[in-house]
Amino acid sequence: MIKITFPDQKVREYPKGTSAMEIAKSISEGLARNVLAAKVNGETWDAGRPIQEDSTLQLLTWEDGDGKSTMWHSSAHLMAEALEAIYPGIKFGIGPPIDHGFYYDVDLGDHTLSSEDFKKIEDKMMELARKNEKYVRREVSKAEALEYFTKKGDNYKLDLISELEDGKITFYEQGNFTDLCRGPHIPDTGFIKAAKLMNIAGAYWRGDENNKQLTRIYGITFPKKSLLDEYLTMLEEAKKRDHRKIGKELEIFTFDDDVGPGLPLWLPNGAAIIEQLEKLAKSTEQAAGYERVRTPHIAKESMYLTSGHLPYYEDSMFPPMIMDGEKYYLKAMNCPHHHKIFKEINPSYRDLPIRLAEYGTCYRYEQSGELFGLMRVRCLQMNDAHIYCTKEQFASEFQAVNDMYLKYFKIFNIDKYIMRFSVHDPKKLGKSMSTIRNCGKRPKTWYVRF
């Protein structure tokens, strides 16, 4: 027997190998009909996957973010099955869930596709969904995976498999479609009751402009037709308040092909708004003890290597420029520049906390298909700050920053928001190495980025 601990801390015993779906059925058949996936020991699993040891368990439904994400991931596979049925011989890149729905990157070969084709694809998706085909997880060897996609002639999947470790490769199958995937997925296609394809865009394979451009197809699904209707109504209302539409009408900002995508030009009205926002922020930060700094728009490769940013963020940075035999990058983040300033100040721990702030212009290489008005751009000014403090000062500094956020929310009448506090795992530092780190030779000095 294994012990299962539920979110309310109640513990029940079940036979070893019992699945989350079987546990849901033991509680209520009604509950089981709504379970899309499960979180086992903090990791999202297929609801039908056997649990072999004592575990914590959270049953995920449409009301849970991870439940929605799992359904949208499964919907990407359903769309791929529909596409393959309509356009034989097409090849697939990747198809992940996103904040609202999913997408799949597709090599259409000799086929063509436009928004006029969406209806027939949606109809095919729903035809397949009504078959209630199970999503079946299957572990395969690397050799088997390579053989399958070699026969299928899908070089994109072969490219992905080449980087995977043997013994940790899984396929998922539903109906007539098999995909390379680590999962998880919903129990069967019948949970998908409504589908809508939203748009198409171009996307280079692996985000590399030297590779072939694929067709990225975006879609969204729901467990009820009424939820899709509500979503589409909300989108229509949102269009009326779209910042891109308002920005044009009020002459706030524009984009120009000669300047480049994702690089906004602020018109006089927009510049006036920015000046007022900066004036407010500067006075607020000055009162809170922040000191303003300015840093260059470019820096040498060596600094980003030393800070640890380059290995993790190079794909989001513009290609380097070569000058005097050295590589220079457009600044994608302010952090290492501020650390250099802190090093130059060289304060005693008695001088802490040191609070540095900057409206630093940063450049991010967002993919063409991800650009969206002012929400996703390639050039932005971040009101960025770094606080250098002792560990004993951390709690009060953290609270002060949150109080500042709440003040801004009140000023702009923002009453719906989510604030998330992330901490690093000392055993899995990864990218968080540049979130909290001991600074140089000052054992009592730490920096925190907000």
Determine the pLDDT at residue 55.
95
Bridge partners, residue 126, by sequence: none
Q: Which amino acid is at 174?
A: Q
Looking at the structure, do residues 215 and 332 belong to the same domain, yes or no? no
Domain-ending residue, one of 20, 37, 61: 61
Q: The pTM is what? A: 0.67
Answer yes or no: is 45 within a domain: yes
Answer yes or no: is 244 within a domain: no
Q: What whole-number distance in Å separates Cα of residue 434 and Cα of residue 402?
A: 21
Segment 324-331 mean pLDDT: 95
Looking at the structure, do residues 145 and 39 belong to the same domain, yes or no? no
Looking at the structure, do residues 44 and 103 belong to the same domain, yes or no? no
Looking at the structure, do residues 302 and 438 belong to the same domain, yes or no? yes
Reported confidence tier of residue 371, pLDDT bands at 50, 70, 90: confident
Contact present, 351 and 387 (Cβ < 8 Å): no
Looking at the structure, do residues 162 and 289 belong to the same domain, yes or no? no
Answer yes or no: is 440 within a domain: yes
Domain-ending residue, one of 61, 84, 110: 61
Which residues lie below 8 Å from residue 186, measured CB to CB, with a gap of 6+? 36, 37, 47, 70, 71, 74, 135, 192
Contact present, 60 and 44 (Cβ < 8 Å): yes
CB atoms within 10 A of CB 217: 26
Q: What whole-number distance in Å separates Cα of residue 46 and Cα of residue 135?
A: 9
**Which residues form the domain of 27?**
2-61
Contact present, 19 and 11 (Cβ < 8 Å): no
Domain-ending residue, one of 11, 30, 61: 61
Can you give the CATH number for the domain in which 211 is found? 3.30.980.10
Looking at the structure, do residues 50 and 71 belong to the same domain, yes or no? no
Looking at the structure, do residues 271 and 232 belong to the same domain, yes or no? no
Answer yes or no: is 161 within a domain: yes
Looking at the structure, do residues 71 and 42 belong to the same domain, yes or no? no
Q: What whole-number distance in Å separates Cα of residue 6 and Cα of residue 14?
A: 13
- Tell me the pLDDT tens digit for each residue of 189-212: 999 999 999 999 999 998 888 899
Looking at the structure, do residues 426 and 406 belong to the same domain, yes or no? yes
Ramachandran region of residue 417, left (φ > 0), alpha (ψ -120 to 50) or beta? beta
Reported confidence tier of residue 2, pLDDT bands at 50, 70, 90: very high
- How many whole angstroms from its chain centre is CA 87? 29
Which residues lie below 8 Å from residue 403, measured CB to CB, with a gap of 6+? none
Looking at the structure, do residues 291 and 152 belong to the same domain, yes or no? no
Tokens 């990407």 belong to residue: 76
* C-alpha separations of 389 from 10, 399, 432, 440, 449 in Å: 41, 13, 18, 13, 11
- Tell me the pLDDT tens digit for each residue of 41-87: 999 999 999 999 999 999 999 999 999 999 999 999 999 999 999 99
Answer yes or no: is 195 within a domain: yes
Looking at the structure, do residues 162 and 20 belong to the same domain, yes or no? no
Bridge-based pairing of strands 291-292 and 354-363 is: parallel
Looking at the structure, do residues 8 and 146 belong to the same domain, yes or no? no
Determine the pLDDT at residue 439.
41
Count of structural domains within the chain = 3
Query: Above 80 in pLDDT, residue 429?
Result: no
Answer yes or no: is 172 within a domain: yes
Reported confidence tier of residue 427, pLDDT bands at 50, 70, 90: low
Tokens 């280079």 belong to residue: 204
Answer yes or no: is 258 within a domain: no
* Nearest 10 degrees: Cα torsion 208, 212, 218, 221: -100
Can you give the CATH number for the domain in which 53 is found? 3.10.20.30
Q: What whole-number distance in Å separates Cα of residue 103 and Cα of residue 111?
A: 18
Determine the pLDDT at residue 426.
66
